[in-house]
A = this chain, B = another copy of it.
Amino acid sequence: MLLYDYFRSSAAYRVRIALNLKGLAPERAFVHLRRGAQRDDAYLGVNPHGLIPALVLDDGTVLTQSMAIIEYLDETHPSPPLLPREPVARARVRALALAVVADTHPLGNLRVLQHLQGAAGFDMERRDAWYAHWIDVGLTGLEADLARDAARGRFCHGDTPTLADCCVVPQLANARRAKLDVARWPVLAAIDAACNELPAFAAAAPARQPDAE
C-alpha cells in the first residue's frame, strides 16, 4: 500500500492513526499542500478531487476520503476493531466522526482559507476569526453531545479507540494551532489526552512525520 500524505493534513492524520492502530505501515508519498502539489496533473491523476489523503492498494486501486479509507481498513483488517458491532453503537461512532469530518473540518480546509483570502478579500485577522469560529461551533456541539452520553468512556465510545477518536484528535490539534483553549471542552480534552498516551496516536502527530517543517 502507498499513502499520499501531508504532515499537516488533518484528514491524513486520521488515516495515519487508524493505520497505526491496525499495525499497518504503508509506503508514503508526501504531497506539499501549501505549495499546491495537490493540483499538479500527477496528483490529479491519482485523485481528481485534488485532496489528501489517498491510499493506493497493491493492485493499483485508489481509495480516497479519510473516513471511507478507515472503514475499508476496518473491514479488511478487523483487529483491533475501530467500530463497535451493534448497529446503534456504530451509528453513534460514525455520527461523532462526521461531526468533525462533515461539520467542522471542511470549513477550515486549506482551500477554503485560501479562497477567503483571495476571492473574498479576507485579511489574516478575519481569516483566523473564521477558522476559530467554526472549530468553536463544531467542538462545542461535540462536547455537548459526548457530555450527556453514557456510551462515552475513556474514549469517545467506551474504553477502546474507534473511528471517532481518529477524527477528534486531529481536530483538537487544529484547535490548538488556532490558539483556542481546549480546556473549554473538558470531555474532549480528556479523550484527547487518553488517546495521545497511546503510541498509535502519538506517532501519527504532524510534528513526528518525515515531511514536517
The smallest C-beta distance from A60 to any residue of chain B, in angstroms, reads: 11
How far is A105 from B98 in the complex, measured between Cα atoms in Å? 13
In-complex Cβ contact of A72 among B65, B75, B88, B130 (8 A)? B88
Contact yes or no, A49 B120, CB < 8 A: no
Contact yes or no, A98 B67, CB < 8 A: yes
The smallest C-beta distance from A96 to any residue of chain B, in angstroms, reads: 9
**Interface residue A210 (Cβ < 8 Å from any Cβ of B):** no
Interface hits, A63-102 → B, CB 8 Å: 63-65, 67-69, 71-72, 75-76, 87-88, 90-92, 94-95, 98-99, 101-102
Closest chain B residue to A88, Cβ basis: B61
How far is A84 from B107 in the complex, measured between Cα atoms in Å? 30
Q: A95-B64, A101-B98, A102-B102 are known contacts. Are A141 and B71 too (CB-CB below 8 A)?
A: no
Interface centre among A49, A88, A126, A129 (most CB of B within 10 A): A49
How far is A148 from B64 in the complex, measured between Cα atoms in Å? 15
Contact yes or no, A145 B49, CB < 8 A: yes
Counting every copy of the chain, the complex holds 2
Inside 8 A of A69's CB, which chain B residues have their CB? 91
The smallest C-beta distance from A49 to any residue of chain B, in angstroms, reads: 4
How far is A57 from B89 in the complex, measured between Cα atoms in Å? 13
Contact yes or no, A72 B91, CB < 8 A: yes
Q: A88-B57, A102-B102, A106-B106 are known contacts. Are A68 and B95 too (CB-CB below 8 A)?
A: yes
Q: Name A's B-contacting residues (CB within 8 A).
A: 44, 48-51, 57, 61, 63-65, 67-69, 71-72, 75-76, 87-88, 90-92, 94-95, 98-99, 101-103, 105-107, 111-112, 115, 119-120, 122, 126, 129-130, 133, 137, 141-142, 144-145, 148
Q: Which 3 A-B pairs have the closest CB atoms?
A: A48-B144, A68-B94, A49-B141
